[in-house]
Amino acid sequence: MEHNAHSKNYKAFIFTLDAVFSLIVASAAVSLLLYVHFTSPITPAAAPTIEALSVMHNMLSTQLAGILESGVALPPMQAYRLPSSSEPFGYSGFLSNGSYISAPTDPVSQNSFTLSFWIKPERQGRSVSGCGVGAGNNASVILYLGNTTDSVEVAYNSSGGIYINGWYPGGCPISPAGSVPIRKWTNVVVRQNATDIIIFINGVQTPYIAASTSTEVLKGLLLGTALGNGGAKGSSNLGEYNFTGYLANVQLYNSSLTQSKIYQLYRSAINSVPIKNSKLVGWWPLDKNANDYSGNGNDGIPHNVNFVVTGYLPIGSYNASINESIAETLGELYLNNNSMYAEFLLNDSVLGQPRAGIYINGNYSGSESVSFFNTTNGSYAIVYNNSVLNVGSPNMTISAWVYAEGLGTCGTTTPSCMVFDKQGSYALAVNSSGSVCLQLQGTSLGTAWNCTIPIVQPRTWAQIGFTRNSSIANLSYDGGMIKPVYVTGNVVATSSNSIVGATGSPGSITGTFNGSITNIEIYNETLNPQEFYSLYLQGISGMALGNSELVGWWPLDGNTNDYSGNGDAAIPYKVTYESIPFTPPSLLNAYTVSKSSIPLSLNRDGTFQTYNISVVIWR
């Protein structure tokens, strides 16, 4: 069946044959159901049925480790080489005096660096009596960046906080007591720019900021110890003042990462890959070795360090066992709100085609995933300033899925239900009539809003967005162009923030969208009609077009991470998540559908329960 990008076949539903074909496969306890679309004279064939059965068999017999060993990288991991894919999650243990890792690094500017790591202390650190040189001032050193002349020491103190000794004029930054508890993994980020040095704990900035104007160049990293005698400069005393515990995923950048990128490092879990295009100097995952996986060759040398490898891989926010089958992995990813990863595994590594899906207990997996949910109490998410989102010179594309609970508060002439607002630049919104509206400041449209006819219905999923070239902006709905708008000129490039689901600023938020927003994609190019329509066919859990100029991608299915690879996480405020049933249009418009099912015991939020998992193939 050929689809027209300007229309939709609303009659293309799937009907079940009166005589349902059934096949029992004893070895796998798999039952098959064959469905046929009646809009075309198609003779039922065995091929789709056999294909679904074959896929289910492969999913049951293939372990997650086997997929990873084949070279598959989970998004947004395509940007960097994965460490030890067959045993993907490990960390290093510093459990005795004299254990440390030394690693060379390229020069890092002290007024522009970011150091990120995960830490699990086994006991409290040393007490700190002051700030500056002297043996009595040293906490238990976690990381030491620098040389014999200048340095930044990141340490763990006796109050359960992070302490930084770098001889700053504003004092030594210290995170709150208990912010890094023992025997629990915590993400710590230390960031310095031209004016100050700040500690972030689990993606959140801590209150104490020390002034810093140093322009020194630092080079060389020590993990688990300090360089110097009792904190003094100029002498070496490796292995002293080390902390007792574990380290994982150390990343060093020669840039000051934004709040959004730091939040993404935390939200992407302990095995998060580095942020692309951010001047990465070194990446030491510390799983089985001290090698640098940044590609810069800054491999570390371990001394009395224990390397621990687990049988689990954090995928998104879920710990998947590398020994479980792909069928179990997919089911548990959907059930634990990591549908974007499941979609990628299913379509890009298991089948390699977009026309396949998973049903759980008779519902399409889209109903198991969660979506970003705004309410009228002022929930929203901010993507802090990033120049990558300055698109529209002149080409650009925005696609988003929305589910409006109601439209009554969305304004008329000026739409007030914001979907995405790059403040002072471009915006996508819906008004009270259900019209899709855009704003392109700096172009011939000025600050005016341009809207389609009323088309968005309450309590119904809809794909909205627009594509734009040098003369036309095409507003779209459900994959098809609804209204062309003549427009010339480039969109304003601003240093302002972008807001999902509202406009304004913290403390003064307006225009909240009352409903769900999911799968926002922003491209720095004009997608052709077929490409835009393909985004619609994939539905709310669909993948972005990876071979295009994708600058921002927020699936919003349980977190607010950016999966474009640019790391611009949207920091959430009063955000909740909802499960809303959804079946992708590509399945509703299919010729034939075949299904292969099996019951599996799956882990959902720590509780095991039997679910019926179905692999669905459509044509």
- Listed in sequence order, the residues at least 6 apart from 188 whose beta carbon sits closer than 8 Å to its beta carbon are 116, 117, 118, 119, 142, 154, 162, 175, 180, 199, 200, 201
One domain, residues 357 and 380: no
Report the distance separating Cα 397 and Cα 492, nearest Å: 15
Same domain, 31 and 170: no
> Are the beta carbons of 29 and 598 closer than 8 angstroms?
yes
Judgement on whether residues 125 and 271 belong to the same structural domain of the protein:
yes
Q: What is the DSSP letter of 368?
A: T
Helices marked H in 241-297 — which ranges? 259-267
User: Is 342 in the same domain as 363?
Assistant: yes
Give the chain's domain count.
3
Name residue 62's amino acid: T
Pair 520, 609 in one domain: no
pLDDT at 349: 58
Tokens of 490: 């480039």
In a domain, 429, yes or no: yes
Domain housing 208: 90-309
- Whether the upstream peptide bond of residue 76 has omega within 30° of 0, thus cis, is yes
The torsion angle over the Cα atoms of residues 310, 316, 320 and 325, rounded to 10 degrees, is -130
Distance CA 256, CA 264 (A): 14
Same domain, 500 and 363: no
Residues near 394 by Cβ (< 8 Å), separated by ≥ 6?
A: 443, 468, 469, 470, 488, 489, 490, 491
Determine how many CB atoms are found less than 10 A away from the CB of residue 207.
10
The pLDDT value recorded for residue 130 is: 65
Determine the residue type at 167.
W
Q: Is residue 71 part of a domain?
A: no
> How distant, in Å, are the alpha carbons of 210, 277, 388, 441, 508 from that of 494?
29, 20, 11, 10, 20
Cα separation, 115 vs 187, in Å, equals 11
Helices and strands, counts by H and E, the chain: 7, 42
**In a domain? residue 518:** yes
Residue 149 lies in a domain: yes
Same domain, 103 and 163: yes
Burial (CB < 10 A; 0-12, 13-18, 19+), residue 129, is: exposed
Least Cα distance to 76 among 546, 609, 586 occurs for 546
- Taking alpha carbons only, the member of 70, 112, 120, 71 closest to residue 92 is 120
Residue 70 is assigned to a structural domain of this protein: no
Task: Give the domain CATH number at 515.
Answer: 2.60.120.200
Predicted pLDDT of residue 202: 92
Which residue matches tokens 């100097």? 281
Asked whether 120 and 183 are in contact (CB, 8 A), the reply is: yes
Q: Where is 523: in which H helix or E strand? A: strand 515-523
Same domain (yes/no): 461, 524:
yes
Instruction: Give the pLDDT of residue 272.
Output: 81
The answer to whether residues 548 and 594 belong to one domain is: no
Q: How far apart are CA 540 and CA 371, in angstroms?
A: 9
Structure token pair of residue 600: 């599996």
In this predicted structure, what is the pLDDT of residue 82?
Answer: 47
Q: Are 85 and 273 in contact (CB under 8 A)?
A: no
Pairing of strands 140-146, 151-156: antiparallel
The residue from 309, 330, 353 where one domain ends is: 309
3-state secondary structure string, 36-62?
Answer: ECCCCCCCCCHHHHHHHHHHHHHHHHC
214: which residues sit within 8 A by CB, 6+ positions away? 110, 111, 150, 166, 168
CB 128 within 8 A of CB 157: yes
Q: What is the pLDDT of residue 167?
A: 65
Give dist(CA 161, CA 166) in Å, integer. 16
Q: 345 in a domain, yes or no?
A: yes
Looking at the fold, whether 275 and 341 belong to one and the same domain comes out as no
Dig out the tokens for 358 from the structure: 């998973």
Tell which of 309, 333, 358 closes a domain.
Answer: 309
The sign of the dihedral angle between the CA atoms of 436, 441, 445, 449 is: positive
Q: Does residue 7 lie within any of the structural domains?
A: no
Using the 8-state DSSP alphabet, how is residue 262 labeled?
Answer: H
Task: Specify whether 304 is located in the same domain as 448.
Answer: no
Same domain, 228 and 290: yes
Q: Pseudo-torsion of CA 213, 217, 222, 227, nearest 10°?
A: -80
Q: 0.95 exceeded by the pTM?
A: no
Q: What is the mean pLDDT of each run of 10 residues along the chain (619 residues)?
A: 30 24 29 31 48 87 79 57 54 84 90 95 82 58 82 89 79 89 94 92 88 84 72 48 88 95 88 87 92 93 89 80 90 87 74 74 80 80 89 96 90 89 96 96 95 95 96 96 96 93 88 92 96 92 82 89 87 86 82 87 93 87
77 assigned to some structural domain: no
